[in-house]
Amino acid sequence: MIKIAPSILSADYAALGAAVEKLSEWGADYVHLDIMDGCFVPNITFGAPMCKALRKHTGLVFDAHLMVDNPSQWVPAFKDAGADIVTIHIEADRHAHRTLNYIRSLGMKAGIALNPSTPPSAVEYLLDSCDLVLVMTVNPGFGGQKFIRGAAEKISVIRKMLDDRGIHDVEIEVDGGVNVETAAICRANGADVLVAGNAIFSSDDPKKTIELLRG
């Protein structure tokens, strides 16, 4: 069944604990934490201390999306902060294979993210070293952007790459501009996890929206 990972980037920053507590009630599977350093992306959000502060507010999976340069330096901090999944960008790490193994060595799941212009072939030799592949369908840095339909094609390409290698335990997560309409495209292409920020937090009925995103 499709998993839903609400991104708290679109939540009320003055009340993130309360926002996170609501996610279980709304039927979410993961909490998507958008970590931005102002270098890899043109925005700054929050780091491991925020993750640690939010940890006691929910038992949901913490899905940390590191939009940061040199992400390996932050891996221990996110372990200490209670992250369950740590996703790095292939464009931000010259030694991605080493960093993915490092994340796993600390008992967390390792994800690898691709920006819209990065081809699926960039992660071809990482598919057996990760637990999740994150397909960005917006240019990272902000919530509420328009879904890039061309990037969605990568979902089915990566699904085929995994199937051709007999790899069935890697999740394909899609992130950016996901709403009820674009979620159908992601599902049709083989996505396992859908990240949604604006679609959920701007909804009058977030619980219903999550159901509709699941399809």
CA atoms 122, 127, 128, 132: torsion sign: positive
Catalytically annotated residue among 34, 37, 131, 192? 34
Q: Are 136 and 176 in contact (CB under 8 A)?
A: yes
Of 177, 191, 206, 213, the residue at the interface with ligand DX5 (CB under 6 A) is 177
Annotated catalytic residue 128? no
Annotated catalytic residue 169? no
Alpha-carbon distance of 42 to 95, in angstroms, equals 23
Other C-beta atoms closer than 10 Å to the C-beta of 169 total 6
143 near ligand DX5 (CB under 6 A): yes
Query: Least CB distance from residue 59 to ligand DX5, whole Å?
Result: 21
Closest to ligand DX5 by CB, 93 or 98: 93
Q: Are 141 and 36 in contact (CB under 8 A)?
A: yes
Provide the CA 25 distance to its chain's centre, in angstroms. Answer: 20
Which residues of the chain form contacts with Zn ion (CB under 5 A)? 34, 65, 175
Which residues of the chain form contacts with ligand DX5 (CB under 6 A)? 7, 9-10, 32, 34, 65, 67, 138, 140-141, 143-145, 175-178, 195-199
* Active-site amino acid positions: 34, 175
